[in-house]
A and B are shown apart, each in its own frame.
Chain A
Amino acid sequence: MHLSTADVEHIAELAKLALTLEEIEQYRRQLSDILEHFETLKQVDTSSVPPTASVLPLRTVMRADVVRPSLPTDDALANAPDREDGFFRVRAVFGEE
């Protein structure tokens, strides 16, 4: 598997990661190398094999719909980089330009 610079930029965009030019080139090489090793998976016939997402024999676990105490607002906000009046403060979703 050979990834291009554009491939890596596309993945970085999906993952919302700002990367330097050096990082893009490094990940292009390393991810290509790793994916090359993973080509062996193609040898396995899985045409009639169901996927396993979880090993547990559990289905969706429900709980009683009962109100319980939750984290107080101040505690929930304690680690926020920016807050105002009991809310998280965020940057504008759209630019100012």
Chain B
Amino acid sequence: MAGPLSDHTPEGSGGYRGLVGALLLPTWIAIGVFLVLPVALMAVYSVLTKEFRGGVDWQFSLAAYDQFFLNRGLFGDEPPVLEWTYIAIFLRSIWQALLATVFCLLIGFPTAWFIATRPAASRGIWLFLITIPYWVNLLIRTVSLKFLIRDNGPLNEALIGIGLIDSPLPLVNTNLAVQLGLFYSYLPFMVLPIYAAVERYNFALSEAAADLYASRWVTLREIVLPIVRPGIVAGCLLVFIPSLGAFLAPDLLGGAKTFMIGSLIDEQFKGSLGNWPFGAAVSMILMTLVMIALLVYARSAAKGEAA
């Protein structure tokens, strides 16, 4: 799987050379007007003044960013100190997304490897089995997971039934449940790019390493991992980015203590308690983080291709 930022489309023939503008116009309008322009407007909204019924006053103000980063005391007259409330929510979200990514990698890599080493005929079926859950409604998957792991749910009943535990494990509303939800939501994203990388791996290299008395695990660490690294990096990114801004898993499986960026943004647009400029500012900060991650990835991918 090519990285999300690299265009490997061959330029091909020019049979439709004269029509390019007309053919691309609908795309430019659809995405330009209904995505690029809205994101630009969002940037503008983040530096406007909050209106109390939800919405904005067209009055320049940095209050939203000020609220995010600085604490000026209850009445706003104290010298500003760094405000930790929202930074803590971001750090927690990054931490949760990182843990979900690590879990996905630990399970996803062996799975991808196993599938890529099946006979060619059965690989398609295995891959299909991995991708099906991705196409099932994310909300339904999250609700199903909540049903499975809730206090009186089938998982706890089964564990008590076989005598592993005496009282139900309180899983719902914990960090663990949120990580499990993120892991479950995005696991296929980890498997697919790693699979694509392992499928292209030349196993003669492993055989050469084995001939030189390297053990399996040494070969994995020294030979395989460096070669399939681009697939691993792409998989990690595809899990990390959606996890960072996830809304459903933290909202349904977590509680007040597991509040993440998605819920913070969502709150700003709900009813009269909301704060549109602040919501727009938080969205801008989230998008900046994601863009930085993508740029770092694109640069490392470009370096990998040059090497």
Q: Do A and B bind each other?
A: no
